[in-house]
Chain A
Amino acid sequence: MSLSWALLVSLGLACAGYLIGRRRAFAVAGPDVRRLHSRPTYHGFSVALTSFIAGLAVMFIATILRMTGTLDVYAGPIWGWIVLAAAILGLVWGATRIDSGYKARNAVERMVMGVLMLCSMIAILTTAAIVLSLIFETGHFFQLYDWKDFFFGTEWTPRFQGESELGILPLLWGTLYISFIALLVSVPIGLFAAIYMSEYASPKVRSFAKPLIELLAGIPTIVYGLFALMTVGPLLRDYFAQPMGLGNSGSSVLTAGLVMGIMLIPFVSSLSDDIINAVPQSLRDGALGLGSTPSETVRQVVLPAALPGVVGAVLLAASRAIGETMIVVLGAGAAAQMSVNPFEAMTTITVKIVSQLTGDSDFNSPEALVAFALGLTLFVITLALNIVALYIVRKYREQYE
């Protein structure tokens, strides 16, 4: 019996356990249900849960053993039966516990609480799994490739036959350059859009423009990527780069940066909107009451008061830009180089993670493992930005609460 079938059957057993438990509880209670400590339904749930949890626990152990290789992959059927046996045992044990004084509700609630708690641990488990898998494979990589060459190397030329140069600096340069352009586009536009929405726009304009801008946020990044590849790239190449003699590449830092900037506009504007709205109205009234124009109020009172929050928002946007993948995969190109010409194709950390892991390199070669080192670098950078940004934003919120 395969594990997935065992799972279904133990689900059925749990249902049966519910009915059995309830029946027995009614039987024990006799004519007066009030003799029971808990309502019969809880007795039913208690039996069902003991049965199901017993089965699930065995299955979990089996899966772990299978993953670690202690257990043969083909040992599934036997374990299926063991799971079933555990479930039946659980059912029987649960059923024998039923008694008028048995506190079934408390037992059920304790079990449910345990399940709730386990679920909330998954977030920690995920983070731990991310960190562990990144560190583990990065460790492998650094056994094959010198870490100094990785962090300080200025050449990125992976070769199939080995002897690759895998320096992160050109990738880091591309990443930062593109992110910088993206912020250059999105921060002023997003910020001004938020200011206009909250300080100037009539309710009618707001109800029309706000959902439109939010729509930009709901569009998947692959769509932006395609937009960069098919529209923005050729446009920049034909009307700017070639006439100015700055290059012939459709994929370029500017293409990816511009499109990423558009993607970040709603992100920046909705964050700024929250932050600007958190500035108390009394400050605006104070400035207006002294005879300042609305723009003087925004520039001299609202924005300085909102500054920490806005800085936090910009950092969050930067972290987004650095970790963004599809736009740069389709818009930035694959050439690892450190140039200042924004019309040239450059590449980023995320692009190289994709290309090194989807290529044909052997998984245990440094050419593939380098992706994990890149991933770890990316994770650390974005994590640091996020932590700082979230801290700033939280401090800012507390100030006005």
Chain B
Amino acid sequence: MKLLETDDEGSLWMLSSRERGLLITLFTHPMAPRQRARMSRNSEALEEQCQADLAGELEDHSQQIRAQLVEVVVDAEQADSADDEGHEWVMSLTREDGEAFLQALNELRLRAWEQLGKPNPPEVPEDLSEDSPDVLHWWTLGIASRFQSKILSATDPE
């Protein structure tokens, strides 16, 4: 995934076929719902008041942006150039899409981390067996982190 150009309106990215496939998989693969986010740590009254307002909003938002991003990735146009991996694709992101991308990738990371039991630090255990059900969650955490870091380093350079 490589940034081609960016301006105030948005950005253009080059994706390999593999990267495009990975993003579609990430955004369409069914995941367990996130654990409910607390709205207050110090006040149960506030917690109850806010949760009534929040009910379902975060989950709906999450599903909505993932669906939006699948369309964005699927709509990427085939580039003229080709590398060893095959075709390359040019993906156009509006600024809003770019933020949705970061939100969705981070949310997938958080879901995977929660499914793994919130390891601290979040590092793959050396004794992880290939047939462990955790492999999928570690894979999701790793791949989503890689895409997230690429977008951040390209759009927010130090």
A binds B: no
A interface with B by C-beta (< 8 Å): none
B interface with A by C-beta (< 8 Å): none
